[in-house]
Structures are given as structure tokens and as C-alpha cells.
Structure 1
């Protein structure tokens, strides 16, 4: 078989015989880098034995030995995911001119079965001896998950308006809807878009997940409207959430006063009184109560919420007989001569006169806020602009205080519980989405599906309770020391302040100060 000399120098000679390449060395002195440059100029060589090359250079002289074979002119490589195909052309630039090389590339692609996503621009911009992205598949587009929207409860946050004439204390407590009102909707998940690899094979898209709409079936109805599922109120009432399940609770609206016409009111649900509660009458409910008269209430017997909040827009003039009790928060414009017992926070818009208040914390929301007379008993803190009065009326404010270390431990415990519950909720959510995406399966296994949704919602309710507790705990820990009385403007003499059993008598006016308990003493700043 005839040998053809491909390369020759004083150090080596490379010859071609049949489909093989041979190297013969004459003397030492040719480095590996220099040899690589020689190989780069000979793109038709596919090295198959590097040991032969090494021995030829290091142990020269050496007899001719085969070290390579004829490289394919056009090499096609496909990525592992079959989404990209690369072409390498082993030739010089002169060989890339003309349509013949393009024809050969197309033939090679067809030979490999590559039929999809061929890039025409790449065929017209060929470069030698390096991979060219010649075909690219199309990734599937995952389906969009369902888009769920629900009625949003208004934030319970007092709004103070001081216009110089009439001071307003506004709050939205109860979220009212009428029969037929929109409560939520789900835009259904879609299937996504299929993709293709370079061989033309279809790549299935991951369909979106349909997450369930949870609602109280006795008070909310579900209607299919095209690709939407819409929730509507079956009755008029107050919107509530139990976990993620929305419902409409019983709501009693009294358009005038609670008095002789109505008698005392005791209701299972939410109560809105458009007027007032007349003297010597009482009102009680399991949920929130709002009394919207601009004039507030007077000498009522009792206003009580067993589980919720109370909002009295116009304030209280209690005449020494009125009692207010609530499980959560109380919001009032002002209070005079009343007894208040609240498990959480008492927010007073403007002043507190001759009243006895027991709560977790007492906050006077306005910079006009003033506590005059009476006794305030809080666990965590009291915040007000003014304590006492220029007439030096006896005013007592006591803060029981708390153990900061215990509160921090409790916060850590709550945070860990939140993470644990979230992990469990995600597992149930995934299982529910599988049911929702297989409608027939859901119908055939309805009891199992209902059990899943019930447990999911129970966990969401617990999660919301923990998150609410965490929010409160973080707020409490922002208190200075282990109990605080914050006076934003001034305190008058004859005011007695007590934190964790340590008393401080105000004997002369003080300006803008916070008293707090730290390391066994009351400190101020």
C-alpha cells in the first residue's frame, strides 16, 4: 500500500497509508506543544493512540507506528437531552466555500435522523474545526397552575382624622356581602405547550396543577363559567375564613338602636348596630361587634364578644356602670367611666377618663391621647401621649411585665411549629392537586378527597393561628425591657406608674419619656 508523506521535518515524519496515519521520529527535540500545532494544521487526522506519539517524541529515533486514522470530514454530535445538535467540519476555509459542503452537511444530518430545528443561518456561516450549533429543539412549556383569587378581608387598622373641629376614629371591622356577591374564583390550569427534540420527537409538557377552591358549602355556591370556577355568596352576611375556606357567617344588622324595641341582644355571629345601645341594655355575640353611631354609647349594661373584636365608633360615656368584655381587640374613640376587660389589645383614639382597663396592652392611637384618672392594668405595655392632667387627678398605670427569655423561647417554638406545619401543608396540597387534575378519580374517591381537603384546611387554620401569635410575639418583644410605659408628650404629677411591682410616683411634670423594667429596676429614656 502506497505511503504518502503528510508532514516531514528533521525531527519527525507523518505518513498516510490506507485509512491510517503513521509517525516516525529521527531525533529528540520536538516538544509536545509544537507537535500539537502540527496536528492542528492537519485536521484530517483523528488521533487514536497518544502513547505512540509520546514514545516517538521522548524515545526518538523510532520506527513508523500507527497513531491515528482518517477523521470524518463532517462530524455530528447530539447533546444528551437530544435538544441540540452540533456539526464540526474538519477542513480548511477554502473547502467551506460553495454549496457542496452545505449539501454534505444536510445529508449527514439526515443520515443521523436530525430533522427538527435546523438553523439556516449556521449553514451560511460555517467555520472550520470547531463545533457549530446546527439544530436546536424546542423545550416544552409547562402548563400554568390555576390562578386562585379570594375575597380580601379589609385590614383592621384604626384611622385617626383630626381636622380641628371633629376628630374621627374610623375602622372597618366587619366585611359585609349580599346574596350573589363575588367571593372568589379559580382560572383553570392549562396543559402547556409540547416541545420537540432535534429528531422530531414530541416532548410532552407538564400540565399545570388545579388547586382547589375551599369554601363553606352551606353559605357559598360554586358556578362554572368557561375556564373559570366562581364562588358566590348564597346569603347576605359577614365574610369569614376558616383556614383557606371562605364562608358567609350569620350577621345581624340593627339599623336603629338596641333598646326598648329590640330588647337585649344575644346573637351567634356578627353584629352591626347602625345606631347606639341605649342605657341599661346589653349586647353580646360570638363574633365581632361594631356600633357605628357617631355618639357612641352611654350607660349600657354590658357589651361582650365571646370570640371576636369590638369597635365602638363614637366612644363610651359609661357613668360608672358600663362593662366591655372581648376576646380579641377593642377599638374605641374614647372612654369615660367604664370597666374594660380585653384578652388582647385595647386601642383608644383620643382619651381615657376615670376608667379601669385590663388588657395585654393599651394603646392610645392619637398624639392627643390622654389617660386621666382611673386605673390601667396591662401585661406588656401602655402607650399614650399624656398621663394625668394639669389638675393633678390621680392616675394609675400598671404594667405586669413579662419574661423576655420565655417570650423568645416561645417565639422560637412558634417559628418551628410554623415551618413543620408548612411542610405538612405542602404534602397535602400536592395530593389535592393530583386529585383536582384527575376529575374522574376525584369523583370515584370523593370521601378520600374530602378527607384530604378537611385535613388541609385544619392545618391552614392552625398555621394562621400560629402566624398571628408570631406577629403578636414579635410586636411584644419590641417593647423596651420587660414591660414599658411610653409617654409621647408629658406626664403630670400625682400619676403613679408601676412596672413588675416597682412603683414610680410622678411628683413633677416630665416630658417625653419611656419607663421600662430592666435588671430589677425601672429605667427611663
Structure 2
């Protein structure tokens, strides 16, 4: 039995539904395209397939019935590519969409398409004819959180100078001491994430968080497993020390009083804190950093030497021409008088340097009270002080050997490349360790796992050395020219300056200036 149903009729056109689609017949001209579109909008079940037929029917009226559209699906279900959302379009007239039967049809079509999860009931009960709406929504997976490591922070060795008119303080925390049982770090474990679901009810696996290992010296640090995290504690008293990324507690010797008759000379493999002073004619030698905390400093001790670290002498040195200070890194002291200093790093003096011989990369007296009086100062990069010499014109010799700026820049660029390569290698090892660490093969491949850790730590240790060198070179390149002597206040006559073997005798007082080597001569700024 053939279908012939009248859908719309007016003095201008009629629309009928037949077995093979929808037909338009026009009776007279006068109906615009826009008006015809309004008629179509009220019949979302009609899908136009031939716009030319519509145009001819309206423009060339009258016209015999001609097919211009097909029937849309009553219920159209579309599911997004990720299967997390389903959309429905109800292609029926508005009167029909208000009935309960259409809701049943939508539910049956959802079931037929397998959409069973996250169906929005409120949307289902408020469908709109011809409008595409979100009918079901799945639950996306929640990916796991990466493990997070937090470690004890080594305080930067930076002297603080206070000048309050009543007392001069020169304070510095050089050695980071901890006691047994003290917190050293923690690792919050990676989480597996939460499973999601598609609108089809299928599970969506989350990406588990990456597990980054936390490195520590098992001889001096213990790991305590707690809910969701691993906490590190010191197993002995000592100084916090990092070898690469691995935290450890190094040997730390603390002498409560003086180094002298009771203790004898000290030669220690580790860090040393002397709460008193170092008495005359005694020697202190260590591999790591040394702190001498007496407010009165030291007198004519024989020698203080750090083979690998820095030295901090809170009260300064009155050496009486006998004391020798040697260190691999930096030296920090409040004042120095009548002493000899050999330092591979920078010498930072709080207030004055009197009749002393100093060899270092840099010699810096940052305080506006800083004075260099007498003696011989030899630096590779620069010397900075407020005052040089005295009104009585005491002979003061300042020599800056200088450097090749181009060569130093080239070495910095090479160093940056090496650092980048080390970081790349380190990240590769870190990724391998991360994957390896969460696999079930750790126990059976323990030696391989430990080798990865060893390689990673070796690279990290090398990276730290190069990073420190890069930081130093970058600082050197901030110096004016290729060697600089900075005068923050005044230089008195009989002060002798030399930069890159070019000499300058100060014959009249000079105020606030800098001398630097550039283009074969000493320039002043």
C-alpha cells in the first residue's frame, strides 16, 4: 500500500510524503525562500536532497509535484570518537516530541546502539524537535600523579654584613649540620590513577604516574615507608652532603672548644666545626668545609687548610706573619691581618685586609668599610674594595693577572654544550630508572638497576661540578674588560695597581672609579 500523506498545504504550495520521499507542488508565485525555510524548520523529519527543485517550484510556479527531500531517521544517535559523549537528534515534529512514546523510542535506540552509561535523564525528559543534544556522557580516566621528591635544601654560602654602628657582624652558614633522626627528604609515591568509562560502559585505563627514584646513601640515611610516601632520616650526626642527586650525611667533627693542647693538630676526612679558636702554632686540615666560629677569630695558628672545600672564619685572622690559609673553593672571613692566603676560588673579606699576601681568583671586600692596607693582593679576575692604602701612604700592591675574554666565552659555550649533553644523558637514565623501578623485574635484575643508579649519580655529580664552574665563569664575564680593580670610595697615593702586566702608580688620591684592561691598555670608568 503506497503512502501519500499531506504534510503542509497553502495557496502557494503543498508538501506531501510518499514512499520514496517528500514532494513539493506549487500553485502560484509569492512564497519566498525564507518563508519556505520556516516551514521546513517546523518539520525536522524532512531532509532536503534537491535545492534546485525547491527554487524552481517557488520561482516558476505553478509546478507539478516533484521530489525534493527524503525522510531523516526519527532518532539519530552519534557517539564521539573517544566514546565519552553521545548525542541524540529527534527528527519528528514538535507535537510528537512532547509525547511519552518518543522517550521510549530514544531509550530503545540508545540500547540498540549499546549506549548504556551516563545517560542524562533530565535531557531525556526535555527533548526538543530537530535539536542535537548531549544525551549521555562517560567518565574520562584520571591519570596517575607522578611521584614527587623533596630533599633537604643546602643553604647557599653567602656572607651577611651588618653595620649598625655598635658592632660589625659577619655571619655565614657554611656547614649544614643535622642530628641522627633528623628529616632529610621524602618521596610521595606515584599514584595509579582512576579508571574511566565510555558511554558503552567499557573501562578506560588511566596512565599511571611516573615513579622517580629518590637517591640516598644507605650507610648514613634510612628510608621509612609510610602510607603513600617514603621519608628519609639521618642515621647519624653529621653534615648534609650531595653526591650527584644522592643525599648523604658526611663525617662532621665538632670541637666545642679550641684546637690546641687538648686536641693537638687536626687532620680530618670530612667537615669540621670549631666553636672556639685555633691556638697559636696549631694546624687544622680537612677534606671538606671548615668553620671557625669564635667571635675573636684566630691568631698566629700555623695553617688552616681545606683540600676540597671552603673555609669560614667568623672573627677573622690576626696572623702575626705566621698563618697560612689554603682552600680549594672560597674563603670567608671578617678581617685578615699579617697572613698568607692561597685560594683557588674567591676570597670574601668583611672589613679589612692588612699587610697580607693573598692569591685567589677574586678578592672582594663588599662593605663600604672595606679596606686593603699594605701587603700584596694577586687575583686572576678582579679586586673590589672601598678603600686602598692609607692617608699615610702605606705601600699597597694590587695585581690582577687578567684573562682572555674571547677564550673564556668559548670555554663557557663549550661548557654549556657539555652541560646540555649531561642533562640529556641524565634524563635518559632517569627515564630508564623510572620505568625499571616500577617493574616486577627489579628483584631479579637488581644489579642492572643498581648500575643505572650508579651511572645516573656519576653524571649528576659531574653535572654539579660543571654547573658550579659555569656559574663562576658567567660571573667572571660580568667584570669590565679583561681584569678589573674597583674602587668604591678612595685609593690613596703609593698604591700600586697592575692589570695584565700594565702598571699604574697612584700618585694622587682617586675617588670612586674602576680600572680595567681593554685593547692593550688600562682604562678608567
Please confirm whether the aligned pair reaches a TM-score higher than 0.5, indicating the same fold: yes
Cα deviation for residue 146 of structure 1 reads: 2.1
Q: For 1:140, what is the secondary structure of its paired residue?
A: coil
| Residue aligning to 1:180 | 181
| Residue aligning to 2:491 | 491
Task: Using structure 1 for the length normalisation, give the TM-score.
Answer: 0.91
Alpha-carbon distance in structure 2 between the residues aligned to 1:59 and 1:301: 118
Q: Does 1:293 align with 2:294?
A: yes
Alpha-carbon distance in structure 2 between the residues aligned to 1:75 and 1:343: 80
| Residue aligning to 1:509 | 509
Cα deviation for residue 346 of structure 1 reads: 0.7
Alpha-carbon distance in structure 1 between the residues aligned to 2:499 and 2:59: 90
Alpha-carbon distance in structure 2 between the residues aligned to 1:398 and 1:35: 97
**1:423-434 alignment runs, 5 A limit:** 423-434=424-435
Q: 1:84-114 CA distances to partner (integer Å, 9 max, x unpaired)? A: 1111222444444344433333332222222
Cα deviation for residue 297 of structure 1 reads: 1.2
Alpha-carbon distance in structure 2 between the residues aligned to 1:60 and 1:372: 113
Alpha-carbon distance in structure 1 between the residues aligned to 2:466 and 2:36: 72
CA shift in 2, pair 1:123/1:165, >3 Å: same
Alpha-carbon distance in structure 1 between the residues aligned to 2:446 and 2:103: 61
Q: Which region of structure 1 is more displaced relative to structure 2, 37-46 or 495-504?
A: 37-46
Cα deviation for residue 364 of structure 1 reads: 0.9
Alpha-carbon distance in structure 2 between the residues aligned to 1:30 and 1:520: 95
Contact 2:45 2:93 in 1 (8 A): no
Structure 1 unaligned blocks of 5 or more: none
| Residue aligning to 1:307 | 308
Alpha-carbon distance in structure 2 between the residues aligned to 1:158 and 1:393: 29
Alpha-carbon distance in structure 1 between the residues aligned to 2:495 and 2:489: 14
Alpha-carbon distance in structure 1 between the residues aligned to 2:474 and 2:58: 75
Alpha-carbon distance in structure 2 between the residues aligned to 1:330 and 1:89: 82
| Residue aligning to 1:365 | 366
Contact 2:42 2:94 in 1 (8 A): no
Q: Which region of structure 1 is more displaced relative to structure 2, 417-426 or 55-64?
A: 55-64
Q: Does 1:378 align with 2:410?
A: no
| Residue aligning to 1:477 | 477
| Residue aligning to 1:409 | 410
Alpha-carbon distance in structure 1 between the residues aligned to 2:484 and 2:348: 16
Q: For 2:249, what is the secondary structure of its paired residue?
A: strand
CA shift in 2, pair 1:79/1:277, >3 Å: same
Q: For 2:272, what is the secondary structure of its paired residue?
A: strand
Residue-pair matches, total? 524
Q: For 2:299, what is the secondary structure of its paired residue?
A: coil
**1:188-227 alignment runs, 5 A limit:** 188-227=189-228
Q: Which region of structure 1 is more displaced relative to structure 2, 54-63 or 512-521?
A: 54-63
Alpha-carbon distance in structure 2 between the residues aligned to 1:380 and 1:26: 101
Contact 2:302 2:322 in 1 (8 A): yes
Q: For 2:73, what is the secondary structure of its paired residue?
A: coil
Q: Which region of structure 1 is more displaced relative to structure 2, 394-403 or 338-347?
A: 394-403
| Residue aligning to 1:350 | 351
Q: For 1:419, what is the secondary structure of its paired residue?
A: helix
Q: 1:102-157 CA distances to partner (integer Å, 9 max, x unpaired)? A: 33333322222222222234335544433212221111111222232222212211
Q: Does 1:451 align with 2:446?
A: no
Q: For 1:338, what is the secondary structure of its paired residue?
A: strand
CA shift in 2, pair 1:48/1:416, >3 Å: farther
Cα deviation for residue 308 of structure 1 reads: 0.5
Cα deviation for residue 340 of structure 1 reads: 0.9
**1:231-242 alignment runs, 5 A limit:** 231-242=232-243
| Residue aligning to 1:245 | 246
Structure 2 unaligned blocks of 5 or more: none
Q: For 1:443, what is the secondary structure of its paired residue?
A: coil
Contact 2:44 2:129 in 1 (8 A): no
CA shift in 2, pair 1:412/1:2, >3 Å: same
CA shift in 2, pair 1:130/1:250, >3 Å: same
| Residue aligning to 2:231 | 230
CA shift in 2, pair 1:405/1:5, >3 Å: farther
Task: Using structure 2 for the length normalisation, give the TM-score.
Answer: 0.91
Q: For 1:444, what is the secondary structure of its paired residue?
A: coil
Q: Which region of structure 1 is more displaced relative to structure 2, 458-467 or 5-14?
A: 5-14
| Residue aligning to 2:83 | 82
Cα deviation for residue 6 of structure 1 reads: 5.2
Q: 1:224-271 CA distances to partner (integer Å, 9 max, x unpaired)? A: 233332222222221100011011111222222222222222111111
Alpha-carbon distance in structure 2 between the residues aligned to 1:98 and 1:77: 23
